[in-house]
Structure 1
């Protein structure tokens, strides 16, 4: 599996990918998931993939050769939208060629792609591509895309990143998102590829491959965990069975009448007789079960 994240900001784009393709007791594969298509002064486009590696590699190769009905390729497309359409056509072409044969071996046509960049004359744009070749585009309401093992690194991005976020802050947030994913999922692993693109540069100026010895990422891993523990410990414990006017952080009050849904033990196994509302609730649950 893998984890890739990209962010579209007012000031540019941030791309981050891991490089693990398989995880097991004795088999860990490493393949870089990020590809850069660059013609300095004219265009910079970045492709990140997740899913079946052979499919991803076929799509990546076909993208460099594919032309549309007007004879344009990603190198001559007049907009990122047109380039994304050419990529979608490449995905469908690989599907037409390979999906049926893969299916004979029980293998699904599974690929997810993030594609973004800038072509001279228009703004930075970011797209998420699907296995059918269709895609959606990032807007201010949705400033980032993730593919692969996305759930672990999503909360920090949701809380921090807006279109106004600076590129360096967004890169920091992406690395924290990746660290959270690395901490919780063995199928994601180092090294990482990080590319930070400033709008109108039309060239790659900030790129780094991050391994275990990277000084900044080591600091992220140490400080993020310790800061989380510090914030957690600073939050007060809940107070039970108290009045809100008597103390702060009341979780429940003495007047609360909420009760859990209780399942009574089988006949003859009860160790004591309940009284009051709890006994009534248990009896009601028993009646419902019998009626069903």
Structure 2
């Protein structure tokens, strides 16, 4: 199992994920659940994944295949036989150790500002129904001709089209293996959170269900969770809101991860955090916190101390005030 959370803010987006997979008490391994895609200079996506690991990896492979078909290669490498795209070049990740991520970028153009270096250490869906900051305008869009290829990460004009694309990929992969896995009693389902921004559209978040449909984060429900979500939800409910800074929301998402780890052994470090400022189409900060990282221990100490202080300040019962 796993736990991923993403937060919609006025200032941008924050993503957090653990890296533990659990196929039994005697088989626990580490896989990154956070994947970054920048197929063109006018768009940036972050995909969080939970559920069947084979399904999520197959979906990622399908996405990468489609990007290559559009002339977009990994880390700026050329795709033989494909036309050169118009992407931004390599997005530099100054993080040590290197993160397990899928950063796909277009070919042959100038690189954007690199991701800043940071500390080297390293399913219960939330539903919403309204647009994150109001519905996007579609009046200026030309009508899509019948028979046009469905939108993907390269051609999508709006974030909801990209979410629909990931949902279709997920359903197709699940259908391919559902029968055989069902015979063994295993679940083929996977759940995703897709966040990002396409130039001209607002930044946003979508939770993509195993059935392929999706719901978006809203100002009333600004965070989305997948995986083991129940343990880390209370801090988000009580403290979280759209007006937080990116750094405060990142701290809140980290403590949500740490609390979940304390209550569920199927969630654990390394924890990954990524901050995406609104309207900048870049990841401004990304860190990977391994087991024993001081940020994890210090965050838990401070949070526990605040809880203990809150307990001492709660109102006394009547018999405590006047025991006689």
The verdict on a shared fold, with TM-score over 0.5 as the criterion, is yes
Could you say which structure has the larger radius of gyration?
1
- Matched ranges for 1:129-148 at <5 A: 129-148=208-227
Deviation at 1:87, TM superposition (A): 0.8
- Matched ranges for 1:1-292 at <5 A: 1-22=1-22, 25-39=25-39, 41-66=41-66, 69-70=148-149, 72-240=151-319
**Whole-angstrom CA distance in 2 between matches of 1:81 and 1:25:** 38
**Whole-angstrom CA distance in 2 between matches of 1:232 and 1:40:** 51
Higher helix share: 1
Q: Number of paired residues?
A: 245
SS at match of 1:115: strand
SS at match of 1:230: helix
- The range that moved more, 181-190 or 209-218, is 209-218
Render the CA deviation track for 1:34-89: whole Å, top value 9, x for unaligned. 11112463211011111111111111211233499425421221111111111111
Render the CA deviation track for 1:132-161: whole Å, top value 9, x for unaligned. 111111111110101111111111101111
Alpha carbons of 1:236 and 1:71: their partners in 2 closer, same or farther (altered >3 Å)? closer
1:23–1:187 contact (8 Å) kept in structure 2 = no
Deviation at 1:182, TM superposition (A): 1.0
Alpha carbons of 1:24 and 1:107: their partners in 2 closer, same or farther (altered >3 Å)? closer
**Whole-angstrom CA distance in 2 between matches of 1:40 and 1:171:** 26
Unaligned runs of 5+ in 1: 255-292
**Whole-angstrom CA distance in 1 between matches of 2:236 and 2:159:** 25
**Whole-angstrom CA distance in 2 between matches of 1:210 and 1:23:** 23
**Whole-angstrom CA distance in 2 between matches of 1:2 and 1:232:** 30
- The range that moved more, 159-168 or 18-27, is 18-27
- RMSD (Å), alpha carbons: 2.2
- The range that moved more, 198-207 or 17-26, is 17-26
Equivalence for 1:265: none
Equivalence for 2:135: none
Unaligned runs of 5+ in 2: 68-146
Equivalence for 1:288: none
Deviation at 1:205, TM superposition (A): 2.0
1:14–1:171 contact (8 Å) kept in structure 2 = yes
Deviation at 1:95, TM superposition (A): 2.0
**Structure ranking higher on relative contact order (CA contacts 8 Å, 6+ apart):** 2
SS at match of 2:243: coil
Deviation at 1:23, TM superposition (A): 6.6
Q: TM-score, normalised by structure 2?
A: 0.71
Alpha carbons of 1:39 and 1:204: their partners in 2 closer, same or farther (altered >3 Å)? farther
